[in-house]
Structure 1
């Protein structure tokens, strides 16, 4: 699957890195690299980043709808040079959810769909609620749900009610995964706002300072609510061995010294749920479980949490970001792309170019599908240099080789490493990628003074 993949008992293993962070309307820091653990081995395959309280002032929010917001930009600028592409995102006022994947995985991420639910101010205002993003990953349906629930100590029951309402009201177009809980794996995360009950401020701080977080676990409201609510018991969470991530003085690692002196709490959480079997599956350990969809699915998937921690080095917000990393062990339902696409011959801006594509499996293709020319290191499916429609009137037959020409005026003069991607309008995703290939520098580039004549790879001789 990637450099981060290895075989495990007949399954492929994919590395998932998740971040949740209430950014308290702050602008992003210049450097988010330590947040993403970029140099971890084996390397990451998927990044999921959920933010809360992104600046949603009316003028700012409208501008963000027209162009990418500043948080999306900083993550794309950091991850694109590492070969990660933003698959898609969903935004509801201050809630933002971003998914990035290694380029090699893009054709195997299908059936992408997003939705959102407002719970703030009688359900009409989106300052609280949940945004979700679901897709099929090598044939396994997964869903990511980023929530910001009601604040304050006394609203634990309301937080549970809001989460249940989000689960009940969110629905998708695919019949067998109509609801969030129908997916094989659900990741629930965000500023869930659960607090630590009963303990006084002095006891809380002394327990934290002495590293005895376990003294606080029994009074964590989410932990207590899980004992009462069966639907919450289906969600798993790693041990809270990191310091509570709320509330800090900004640009410091000191808990709230303002007049309010908010009690520290684990408001920021990452949990996951495996779709239960019937009869219930036996868990391999307290951090891993397997789904086989009532015994009818021959492709089990396993989720193992590798790390659950926070990053205290970031101070732009009064919350600290929380990070969880997982190993997803799965048997791929398929390993063939829906469309094979490749360049034909030598490409340069001195002549029209030709590409071939072949539909290898039936899918809901459309005359609105297109093939984009991407520079290696592209940031998202819309980050193309140019594109061509696949067919204006009719769709190709299965396994029929189709040739499409690209006008030389649309080919980059300076050349470089590029890749072709077939974008499906119905599936909202790239379903075929060529191998990386070289576009040669053009004679026109020298004539226009863009490159020295000696860099022309012999084309001007």
Structure 2
């Protein structure tokens, strides 16, 4: 498992399946556990300039130990693929920091940007979790120009160890458009090849949190007109439309996000709104409402515990044509006692033979 990697112990996983099974079963002999509160949020900001802060983005009554925020479309300028506009990144970092409850209580761990796809992570200063081996990466999945894919679509990720648990956070922006379902699926498959340095794939972690503007829409063949969809989406029965949600459908077919979990959204569709309002799109494109913005997670180690405590959108935020989505989790982290682990390994060898 991921938490055995890069250890000086003589135990090396994968050499003997019986020993591996015993060591997993005996984990509590050499591990102690700590629970932390983690907040994950995604927001497609539609190229808008970062305000000083966004009131109500991170409620003060739900203070987390870690905040991880993924933004999309922070830079939609013509030259964004050529010129690295660091100022936009800095402005959004400050906006997010100023939106946190008691901003001075947090420090930035890492940020990473691919054109307009941006991820940043903050930690509560007084949280005594040990943070190490912090890495970040990106992968472009946009249209190909002279053999190189543009970064208007793609993903950014952060990999790190929290105590002795290895956690991965991925923010992405998948292909847009009602008729681009296959491209969205392929973008996801491409992003599963994201690596951190030469050796660490996303699958080498104990848990993955994956979020962003996934751009999945409502099915093209659903039996409702755009006007009927809008009427339903504006009511308390909006969840009825989730049976036609492309992401749910593709997950059930095993095309994307196999093994990932998501609490069914109990909030209204997060796209598309007229900027500055809570009104559905009135442009000539006349987009039908959809749950484009999502947060999913997957446990790769069966002993890693993740409990989602809330999942919501923030309808009052009218900066963009999307609404931010926010989720809170309880995440159990392990700490390995190396001496106890070495002793358990010796006993496991005897037990196996």
Distance across 1 between alignment mates of 2:43 and 2:270: 9
Residue among 204, 211, 226 paired with 1:182: 204
Residue among 223, 226, 249 paired with 1:201: 226
Distance across 2 between alignment mates of 1:161 and 1:118: 12
Residue among 292, 317, 335 paired with 1:267: 292
1:34, CA displacement in angstroms?
A: 1.1
Matched-pair contact (CA < 8 Å) for 1:109–1:137: yes
Distance across 2 between alignment mates of 1:81 and 1:22: 22
Match of 1:328 in 2: 331
Match of 1:433 in 2: none
2:274 equivalent to 1:249: yes
Question: Which runs of 4 or more aligned residues in structure 1 lie more than 4 Å from their structure 2 counterparts after TM superposition?
Answer: 59-63
1:60, CA displacement in angstroms?
A: 11
1:30, CA displacement in angstroms?
A: 3.5
Based on CA coordinates, which of the two structures has the bigger radius of gyration?
1
Distance across 2 between alignment mates of 1:76 and 1:62: 25
1:68, CA displacement in angstroms?
A: 5.0
SS in 1 for 2:180: helix
Residue among 118, 121, 125 paired with 1:103: 125
Match of 1:76 in 2: 97
Judging changes above 3 Å, is the alpha-carbon distance between structure 1 residues 255 and 302 closer, same or farther for their aligned structure 2 residues?
same
| CA RMSD between the two structures | 2.3
Judging changes above 3 Å, is the alpha-carbon distance between structure 1 residues 63 and 179 closer, same or farther for their aligned structure 2 residues?
closer
SS in 2 for 1:126: coil
Matched-pair contact (CA < 8 Å) for 2:162–2:333: no
Distance across 2 between alignment mates of 1:14 and 1:181: 22
Matched-pair contact (CA < 8 Å) for 2:134–2:159: yes
Partner deviation per Cα, 1:163-199 (whole Å, 9 max, x = no partner): 101112x222374xx2112211111110000001123
1:69, CA displacement in angstroms?
A: 2.3
Judging changes above 3 Å, is the alpha-carbon distance between structure 1 residues 262 and 130 closer, same or farther for their aligned structure 2 residues?
same
Matched-pair contact (CA < 8 Å) for 1:87–1:106: no
1:259, CA displacement in angstroms?
A: 1.9
2:197 equivalent to 1:173: yes
SS in 2 for 1:331: strand
2:108 equivalent to 1:92: no
1:134, CA displacement in angstroms?
A: 0.6
Distance across 2 between alignment mates of 1:233 and 1:63: 35
Number of aligned positions between the proteins? 299
With 95-104 and 200-209 compared, the bigger mean Cα shift is at 200-209
Judging changes above 3 Å, is the alpha-carbon distance between structure 1 residues 172 and 253 closer, same or farther for their aligned structure 2 residues?
same
Residue among 54, 57, 65 paired with 1:45: 65
Distance across 1 between alignment mates of 2:96 and 2:337: 30
Matched-pair contact (CA < 8 Å) for 2:81–2:151: no
Partner deviation per Cα, 1:405-446 (whole Å, 9 max, x = no partner): xxxxxxxxxxxxxxxxxxxxxxxxxxxxxxxxxxxxxxxxxx
Distance across 2 between alignment mates of 1:87 and 1:66: 19
Query: Which runs of 5 or more residues in structure 2 are unaligned?
Result: 1-31, 339-353
Residue among 116, 127, 133 paired with 2:138: 116
Query: Which runs of 5 or more residues in structure 1 are unaligned?
Result: 1-9, 276-290, 293-299, 336-461
1:209, CA displacement in angstroms?
A: 2.3
SS in 2 for 1:266: coil
- State the TM-score, normalized to the length of structure 1: 0.61
Matched-pair contact (CA < 8 Å) for 2:81–2:115: no
Match of 1:308 in 2: 311
SS in 2 for 1:130: strand
- State the TM-score, normalized to the length of structure 2: 0.79
Distance across 2 between alignment mates of 1:311 and 1:60: 30
Distance across 2 between alignment mates of 1:226 and 1:60: 32
2:20 equivalent to 1:17: no
With 131-140 and 71-80 compared, the bigger mean Cα shift is at 71-80
Map 1:142-153; keep pairs closer than 5 Å. 142-153=167-178
SS in 2 for 1:75: helix
Judging changes above 3 Å, is the alpha-carbon distance between structure 1 residues 152 and 81 closer, same or farther for their aligned structure 2 residues?
closer
Distance across 2 between alignment mates of 1:226 and 1:47: 27
